[in-house]
Every structure is written in structure tokens, then in C-alpha cells.
């Protein structure tokens, strides 16, 4: 595996990459695999090399809340690096996903010996914090319809590709998965998606959502 092609490592020198390789193992999980669950004792940190996963909370009454959808270059398990030994969320693969697994004590040693890696981790965690703050603001100030729209815009920005003049999500997304992501009922989510489709603000093809004009969709938020 060429670590230099992974976003998290692409500023590191060859000697630093070699040090990471010595301490890492590759793990491949098929679509729909639970990588780890909330409350489980940590075994280390996972770097996504390819594929996508969803990070979620499972509640005793059976409800789920999707906290994030992560792709190549993201890390899992950073919360347990210092101060906690238990996983804080559950992670499930959305497609076949390849990870680089690094044991907790090894990753701590890497952070101390490779300052540039520490900087990249700080950058990544800062971006995650901004995303969490955005979600809190949306839950506090936006109605259900606007939250669905903001969720679509966020996913298009993070997981979309340009297809002509449209931005298409790179993976299928069910109404229920989007509902769990934005914290709205599935029925409300379906109602909003149908409205947006009638207004030609989104289109769907085999479960993949496309946004013809993100600016036009953004203007629907109020």
C-alpha cells in the first residue's frame, strides 16, 4: 500500500512513511461490517485508505443517530488515544473499506516522533469540531425541512463528484440513512426529498442523489 497517496500521510517523508508501515497492519472489511461498537474496549486507531463508513450512536430503544460519514484519509478511534479506553461510537462500513490499523501505543509513539503527523491530526480534528458545531447550530436553529437540505448540501460537498453540471453523491443513500444523519423522521425526510425532486432541485438515479445547483438548493434554507 502506498501511504503517500493517503491524504493523512501525503506530506510525510519516506523515512517517516516507512516508520508508519512498520507499525501498521492492513484490514479489509466488506460492506455492512461493524468495525467496532460503542462501549467496546479500544484496540487502536483505524485510518481509512479506501471506502466509506458511517459513525453512529445506537440507543436502547432501537433508534440510531448517524454522527458522520467518513471517507479515505479520515481516522477512527482518535477519542480513545488519550484518557479513554472505551469506544464512544459504533462504526459500520457503507462499502468495502480498507483500513490501516495502528495499535494505540504505537500511534502515540508515532505522534511523538513525527511532528508533521501530529499537525495533520490536529487539522483533521479541527475540521471535525467545526462540523460538529455546524450540526449543533442546525439542530438548534433550523426547522426539519432546512436540516434535510443542509444535510444534502454537506454530503454533496464531502462525498460528491462533478457529473456534468451536477454534483452526484458517490454512494447510494436511503431516506432512512439521510434521516438518521440529519436527526429528522424518515417520513419528514421523504416528504422534503419529494418536494425538492418536484422542484428539480435534486434528482435520483439508483439511490444516488444528484444536486444540479448547490447555490439554488442553499437558497431553500430558511
Q: Is the pLDDT of residue 143 over 80?
A: yes
Q: How confident is the model at residue 29 (pLDDT cuts 50, 70, 90)?
A: very high
Which residues, other chains included, contact 167 with Cβ-Cβ below 8 Å and sequence gap of 6+? 156, 160, 161, 210, 211, 214
For 18, half-sphere exposure in the C-beta direction (CA atoms, 13 angstrom radius) is: 3
Q: What is the DSSP string of 151-162?
A: HHHHHHHHHEEE
Residues for the chain: how many in total?
222
Domain boundary among 83, 107, 138: 138
Q: How far apart are CA 109 and CA 55, in angstroms?
A: 26
User: Which is more confidently placed, 83 or 64?
Assistant: 64
pTM: 0.83
> Based on C-alpha coordinates, what's the Rg of the chain?
19
- 68 with 76: CB under 8 angstroms? no
- Which residue from 154, 109, 12, 159 is spatially nearest to 2, judged by alpha carbons? 12
Q: Is the pLDDT of residue 160 over 80?
A: yes
Domain boundary among 121, 138, 155: 138
User: Domain check: are 55 and 100 in the same one?
Assistant: yes
User: Domain check: are 192 and 94 in the same one?
Assistant: no
Domain boundary among 138, 173, 205: 138
Provide the strand spans (E) within the chain: 24-29, 34-36, 45-50, 53-58, 64-70, 75-76, 90-93, 97-102, 160-163, 166-169, 203-205, 208-211
Instruction: Convert the pLDDT of each residue in 68-91 to its tens digit.
Output: 999 998 999 877 677 677 888 999
Q: How far apart are CA 195 and CA 181, in angstroms?
A: 19
User: Domain check: are 112 and 147 in the same one?
Assistant: no
User: Domain check: are 147 and 119 in the same one?
Assistant: no
User: Domain check: are 76 and 33 in the same one?
Assistant: yes
User: Domain check: are 149 and 128 in the same one?
Assistant: no
pLDDT at 78: 79
Exposed / middle / buried, residue 150 (Cβ in 10 Å: 0-12, 13-18, 19+): buried
In the chain, the percentage of residues whose pLDDT exceeds 70 is: 97
Q: Is the pLDDT of residue 111 over 80?
A: yes
Domain that holds residue 103: 3-138
The residue behind cell 501505543 is: 105
User: Domain check: are 132 and 158 in the same one?
Assistant: no
Exposed / middle / buried, residue 188 (Cβ in 10 Å: 0-12, 13-18, 19+): middle
User: Domain check: are 87 and 175 in the same one?
Assistant: no
Look up the CATH number of the domain holding residue 79. Answer: 2.60.120.10
Number of structural domains, the chain?
A: 2
User: Domain check: are 41 and 97 in the same one?
Assistant: yes
User: Domain check: are 113 and 31 in the same one?
Assistant: yes
Q: Can you say whether the dihedral through the CA atoms of 140, 63, 39, 90 is positive or negative?
A: negative
Amino acid at each position: 500500500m502506498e501511504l503517500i497517496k493517503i491524504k493523512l500521510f501525503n506530506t510525510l517523508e519516506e523515512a517517516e512513511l516507512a516508520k508508519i508501515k512498520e507499525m501498521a497492519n492492513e484490514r479489509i472489511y466488506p460492506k455492512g461490517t461493524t468495525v467496532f461498537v460503542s462501549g467496546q474496549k479500544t484496540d487502536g486507531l483505524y485510518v481509512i485508505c479506501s471506502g466509506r463508513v458511517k459513525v453512529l450512536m445506537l440507543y436502547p430503544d432501537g433508534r440510531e443517530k448517524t454522527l458522520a460519514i467518513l471517507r479515505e484519509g479520515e481516522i477512527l478511534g482518535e477519542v480513545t488515544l488519550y484518557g479513554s479506553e472505551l469506544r464512544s461510537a459504533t462504526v459500520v462500513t457503507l462499502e468495502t473499506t480498507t483500513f490501516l490499523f495502528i495499535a494505540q501505543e504505537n500511534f502515540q509513539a508515532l505522534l511523538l516522533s513525527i511532528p508533521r503527523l501530529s499537525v495533520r491530526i490536529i487539522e483533521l480534528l479541527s475540521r471535525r469540531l467545526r462540523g460538529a458545531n455546524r450540526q449543533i447550530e442546525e439542530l438548534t436553529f433550523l426547522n426539519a425541512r432546512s436540516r434535510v437540505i443542509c444535510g444534502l448540501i454537506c454530503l454533496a460537498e464531502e462525498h460528491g463528484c462533478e457529473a456534468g453540471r451536477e454534483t452526484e453523491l458517490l454512494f447510494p443513500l436511503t431516506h432512512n440513512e439521510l434521516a438518521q444523519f440529519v436527526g429528522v423522521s424518515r417520513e419528514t425526510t421523504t416528504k422534503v426529498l419529494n418536494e425538492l425532486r418536484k422542484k428539480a432541485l435534486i434528482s435520483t438515479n439508483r439511490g444516488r442523489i444528484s444536486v444540479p445547483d448547490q447555490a439554488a438548493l442553499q437558497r431553500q434554507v430558511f
